[in-house]
Structure 1
Amino acid sequence: MRIDGLDQFIEDLDAAINGDLRAEYEEWLEAMGYQFLDIVQDEIIRTKTVDARRLLNSFQKGDRENVFSMDSGGLTLDVGTNLEYASYTNDGHFTIDPSKNQDRRWVPGRWVGDRFEYDPNAETGMLLKFQWVEGTGYWDNALTIFERMFERALDNKLQRWINQQFGR
């Protein structure tokens, strides 16, 4: 997400107060990243997106599948996941790659209750037929919620800072 003119505005204010705003803004931006991760997790749960544990856990800072980076100089924050199937569960997908000209595919594994556990060495498994699986839109929903919240939070943060610095 990019807000036109924000960097220049912050640079101008930062120059006026010898760098205090940049440090405060970096801390606030990191907190916003954590808040976005919480929103994504809430949407994964709310939309009942597949086996949520691995996907859900990948949206935590420190998880090996997680993307959470900050660039202090440019005040950039990237939040996301490296899980291959994350986009499939959000956008939807075919059970079989249509370019392979197959109408079914054998997947080795076993059923444990109502859950299927993939095991490449299993002699049992399930047969997938070619079909479209609807996505849940968890990421799109979370981004929409966050964008609305971020704009208000940024306005409030800057106004509080201005009031604090200039005594209003």
Structure 2
Amino acid sequence: MKFEIEGLDAFLNALDEAANGQLKEEMSLWLEATGMEFLDLIQDEIIRTKTVDTRRLLNSFGRGDSENIWSIQNGGLSLEVGTNLNYAAYANDGHRQNKRWVPGRWIGSRFEYDPGASTGMMLKEKWIEGSHYWDNAFSIFEKMFDKSLERRLQAWLDTNF
């Protein structure tokens, strides 16, 4: 998922000429911090919606891990955040569960997956609704992003002009 703000590059280039590159550097730092805030929102939504019990998906969203898609480009002010876990999109969007045998054991009312177990359970075919954790986080982030960008630019203008 990419964020594009129409006309931002032209605006930054015009201001950058006046500031000798200082604005892009400051905006890159702000964008990185904003990306971290978005990762926090994603993790908060995974927890709030009780999307996973194993914490693998929750822990897959973080900066600097080889399992994550995270890219910040200084000159063009680009930000990419995500995870490459195969089931992340299924957990968000929902998916069809196929009938299949899952090895494991029941511990109280909780099923624990164990590939070597001789016991288990048969899953029936059905639609599993997604939790929409990503969509919720993105919606919250969109509302915060515009105000944060405006405040950051205004603070820079007040300091430099």
TM-score range, shorter chain: over 0.9
Task: State the Cα distance separating 1:15 from its structure 2 match.
Answer: 1.2
The equivalent residue for 1:75 is 77
Structure 1: distance between partners of 2:10 and 2:83: 30
Is 1:45–1:52's contact at 8 Å kept on the other side of the alignment?
no
The equivalent residue for 2:144 is 149
Structure 1: distance between partners of 2:114 and 2:41: 32
**1:31 partner SS:** helix
- Give the partner amino acid of 2:136: N
Deviation per residue, 1:61-107 (Å, 9 max, x gap): 133422221122321110011111111111111111xxxxxxx2111
The equivalent residue for 2:12 is 10
Alignment identity in percent?
A: 61
How many residue pairs were aligned? 159
Deviation per residue, 1:107-166 (Å, 9 max, x gap): 122334443333333222211000111111110000000001000000110011111111
**What RMSD, in angstroms, separates the aligned Cα atoms of the two structures?**
1.4
The equivalent residue for 2:96 is 94
5 Å-filtered alignment, 1:41-80, equals 41-51=43-53, 53-80=55-82
Is 2:93–2:132's contact at 8 Å kept on the other side of the alignment?
yes
Higher relative contact order (CA 8 A, sep 6+): 2
Using structure 1 for the length normalisation, give the TM-score: 0.88
Structure 2: distance between partners of 1:46 and 1:15: 44
**1:4 partner SS:** coil
- Give the partner amino acid of 1:46: R
Q: Structure 2 unaligned runs (5+)?
A: none
Is 2:102–2:113's contact at 8 Å kept on the other side of the alignment?
yes
- Give the partner amino acid of 1:91: D
- Give the partner amino acid of 1:85: Y
The equivalent residue for 2:114 is 119
Structure 2: distance between partners of 1:143 and 1:150: 10
Using structure 2 for the length normalisation, give the TM-score: 0.92
